[in-house]
Structure 1
Amino acid sequence: MTGSTVRGPHPPLTWLYVPGDRPDVVQKALACGADAVIVDLEDAVAVDRREYARAATAELLASPRSTPVHVRIAGEGDIPSLAGLPGLAGLRLPKVTHASDIHRVAATAPHTPLYALLESALGIENAHAIATAHPAVGGIALGEADLRADLGVGNDAGLDWPRSRVVVAARAAGLPAPVQSVYPDVRDLEGLAASCAHGRSLGFFGRSAIHPRQLPVIERAYLPTAREVESAAEIVAAAEKDAGALALADGRFVDAAIVAAAHRTLFLADRRTGSLSPSGD
């Protein structure tokens, strides 16, 4: 075992959705502390406002942005206006059901990272094929509102199998762990925290939000606890002293996979904390 560390930028934990037809709200979102902003041209925008939303978003992305900006498109007609813009970090594709959906978009948006949203039973069944459809795929995630309707699921537990399926498909494809879908009740921060803890236990990493007040709750839920950091530091220190498999004083067995996970925990613990605070109405 070695003492190698995880390198590179901190992965996003918080993703904030904002309606594309509200440029003033988009500007506020870019300054609120979210790790990434998702400009929505689909569900958050009325049909008769989508052309304006697309034009306003294209204007926003005409120059590079310090905060990564993704766009959830309403349809493939949005792509020519957005692909290749210097401020675009990725396209989020709603209601993906087949690998062919990815191939079609990749052909019209070369060199643009694509993120597939799986929102139906068919999309879940094809999760791995979608995740491996094209090198441009940067991630997959669930769209849980539509998925609930498609499956006829009345409680949260009914989504645990699709959630696990998407986590496994993403990791099997070599993609980052998926981001949790939004929590729709922006005032229920206690429920959000519990939901995030459950998502983390299933293998998700970070979460999308629909209001800035949700951001600090998500970040706290996904950052390691003080006990987790202490344990990770103990594991890394022990591994640096011994090149083979070993057991800690409390009897825990440590191998290379556990050491790698400990390094990831310490890497996450190093990220900025305490800078997000709940926003007002």
Structure 2
Amino acid sequence: MSVTDLPRTYLYVPGNAPEKLDKALDRGADALIVDLEDAVPVAEKDPALAAVQDWLRAQPTDLRTELWVRINGGNRRSGEVAALAGIPTLRGLALAKVESAQDVREVADQLASLGDHDSVLMPLVESAVAMLQVAAIAAGPRVHQMQIGEVDLAGDTGLEPGQDEAELAGIRMMVVLASAAAGINPPVGPVSRITKDAKALAESTRRVRRQGFLGRACIHPAQVPVVHEVFTPSREEAEEARTVISRLAAAEAEGSGVLLDDQGRLVDGAVLRNAHKILALAARAEP
């Protein structure tokens, strides 16, 4: 999959609030993650699952917004997989509190046994145990992208992230490296609890982008336009990317795989890959 096809925003929506689901489609997010886990009280999980099934089946198959469902771990996981398998409008399952590659394999095997060969998986690593298994989890079957549950992870490890989130940098890099090593898409940026300070959210999101994430999960509709802006290249960035691609193509035609740009910086294959990524993100932002 090209990054052209990857969402810039994944907006979480409670699965026990049907009235919010239709409204969420108008919030501008590239993707929705309908939540059956933390956002839904235990007593409401069964009716929420039934309501989410009905809602997903009622959506058109050509819907531009990607639809995901975050399912529970533990004893509920298998039943929720069975209920959601094979729904045509469902892009994939976000797997809460994955602890090992075995968790991923079990879900992938169950989907296959139910005749669902299309749904992909997005494991969430939310504990120290999961972080130490992250490379194996990322390499699991059907894994499309990874995501970090940083709030749970901080609680599990005793981390107290400051405003610059420096304490989380090493953990984030582990997930980025595991994703690259597994040959899957870059991970989805973690949620932020910042909902009213657009400047602070933009700064945090720019940091996430520099760290190697692609797109970001959102917990409030007000976060969506801010994240979109950060993950949408400027005209200048897009034009520079086009220039890099054309100049390197010309250099290769003359027998050279590298060149210097107008500022004397080396341009090689790695820079070329980033240029293609920038143009893909620019294309994703087009209406």
Query: Who is 1:15 aligned against?
Result: 10
Distance 2:169 2:30 in 1: 26
Query: Who is 2:283 aligned against?
Result: 270
Q: Deviations over 1:195-250 (max 9, x none)?
A: 10111111011101111111110011122234422322221231232212222232
Paired residue secondary structure (2:183): coil
Distance 2:146 2:285 in 1: 26
What's the % identity of the aligned pairs? Answer: 40
Q: Which amino acid aligns with 1:128?
A: A
How far the C-alpha of 1:106 sits from its partner, in A, is 1.4
- Structure 1 segments of 4+ aligned residues over 6 angstroms from their partners: none
Distance 1:248 1:184 in 2: 40
The answer to whether structure 1 residue 102 and structure 2 residue 115 are counterparts is: no
Query: Who is 2:178 aligned against?
Result: 169
Among candidates 250, 254, 257, match of residue 267 of structure 2: 254
Map 1:99-178 onto structure 2 (within 5 A): 99-110=101-112, 111=117, 112-134=119-141, 136-155=142-161, 156-178=165-187
- Kindly report the root-mean-square deviation, in angstroms, between the aligned alpha carbons of the 2 structures: 1.8
Q: Deviations over 1:162-202 (max 9, x none)?
A: 11100100111011111111111311222211110111111
Over 3 Å counting, the alpha-carbon distance change for 1:249 and 1:194 in structure 2 is: closer
How far the C-alpha of 1:7 sits from its partner, in A, is 6.3
Structure 2 gap ranges (5+): none
Paired residue secondary structure (2:5): coil
Q: Which amino acid aligns with 1:264?
A: K
Distance 1:126 1:54 in 2: 29
Q: Which amino acid aligns with 1:198?
A: R
Taking structure 2 as the reference length, the TM-score comes to: 0.88
Q: For structure 1, which segment, 167-176 or 26-35, has the greater mean C-alpha deviation from structure 2 after superposition? A: 26-35
Over 3 Å counting, the alpha-carbon distance change for 1:8 and 1:217 in structure 2 is: closer
The answer to whether structure 1 residue 29 and structure 2 residue 38 are counterparts is: no
Distance 1:269 1:88 in 2: 25
Distance 1:246 1:68 in 2: 39
Q: Which amino acid aligns with 1:119?
A: E
Contact 2:18–2:51 (Cα < 8 Å) also in 1: yes
Query: Who is 1:3 aligned against?
Result: none
How far the C-alpha of 1:9 sits from its partner, in A, is 4.3
Query: Who is 1:240 aligned against?
Result: 249
Q: For structure 1, which segment, 257-266 or 139-148, has the greater mean C-alpha deviation from structure 2 after superposition? A: 257-266
How far the C-alpha of 1:267 sits from its partner, in A, is 2.5
Contact 1:60–1:87 (Cα < 8 Å) also in 2: no
Q: Which amino acid aligns with 2:24?
A: A
Paired residue secondary structure (1:270): helix
Q: Which amino acid aligns with 2:105?
A: H
Contact 2:16–2:44 (Cα < 8 Å) also in 1: yes
Over 3 Å counting, the alpha-carbon distance change for 1:48 and 1:164 in structure 2 is: same
Map 1:150-229 onto structure 2 (within 5 A): 150-155=156-161, 156-229=165-238
Distance 2:7 2:93 in 1: 16
Structure 1 gap ranges (5+): 1-5, 276-281
How far the C-alpha of 1:88 sits from its partner, in A, is 1.2
Paired residue secondary structure (2:99): coil
Q: Which amino acid aligns with 1:106?
A: A
The answer to whether structure 1 residue 71 and structure 2 residue 45 are counterparts is: no
Distance 1:260 1:88 in 2: 30
The answer to whether structure 1 residue 40 and structure 2 residue 35 are counterparts is: yes
Contact 1:143–1:181 (Cα < 8 Å) also in 2: yes
Distance 1:241 1:157 in 2: 41
